[in-house]
Amino acid sequence: MDMDADTPVFAIAAAAELAGMHPQTLRQYDRLGLVSPRRTAGQSRRYSLRDVAQLREIASLSAEGLNLEGIRRILSLENQVSMLTERVRELEHALADELLARPGRRVFAAGAEGDVVSLRAGERAKRSNAVVVWRALER
């Protein structure tokens, strides 16, 4: 069996002990939607490592003086940021794959001053015919 941070393995007593809370507190947080453990066929709660970490975060925020509604809002925003970050990562990978699948679409060359010049495919870099005279400084 593969286990990860989302695998529901802890009964309520074990999760409460890991989070440093009373089992009744976990039941209340479940009713309020702050933590949503999975259920077994017999409707017993099973908590994952991610759930335990979230319970610890709730305890930390509560100790800082936030009320449960404020904690719910913070957790909601953090979850939204995580989802959006993952979506950006997916889009960046898709863009990189697309750019790699279209070779020759964009060409770069070095300009006269050493700067990078973007060219269209098939376009040649313009060359300068200017003569530059260089003389070493006398010491």
Residue with token string 């936030």: 66
Is 120 a member of any domain? yes
- Is 106 domain-assigned? yes
* Residues 121, 97 share a domain: yes
Question: Of 41, 65, 89, which residue constitutes the final position of a domain?
Answer: 65
Considering the domain architecture, whether residues 60 and 86 belong to the same structural domain is answered as no
What pLDDT is stored for residue 122 in this prediction?
65
Do both 58 and 88 map to the same domain? no
Number of H-type helices and E-type strands within the chain: 4, 4
Domains contained in the chain, number? 2
In the structure encoding, which two tokens stand for residue 3, read together?
């286990």
pLDDT at 102: 72
**What pLDDT is stored for residue 28 in this prediction?**
95
In order along its 139 residues, the chain shows pLDDT tens digits of: 677 888 999 999 999 999 999 999 999 999 999 999 999 999 999 999 999 999 999 999 999 999 999 999 999 999 999 999 999 999 999 988 887 777 656 666 767 677 777 766 666 666 666 665 666 676 6
Model pTM score: 0.63
Whether 34 and 85 share a structural domain? no
In a domain, 72, yes or no: no
**Is residue 70 domain-resident?**
no
Q: State the Cα–Cα distance between residues 111 and 127, nearest whole angstrom.
A: 9
Q: Whole domain around residue 98: which residue ranges?
A: 77-125
Same domain, 103 and 45: no
- Compute, in degrees rounded to 10, the torsion defined by CA atoms 49, 51, 53, 59: -150
Strand boundaries in the chain, DSSP class E:
38-39, 45-46, 106-110, 116-120
Q: Is residue 137 part of a domain?
A: no
The sign of the dihedral angle between the CA atoms of 64, 66, 71, 74 is negative
Residue 98, pLDDT score: 81
The token pair at 102 is 């279209």
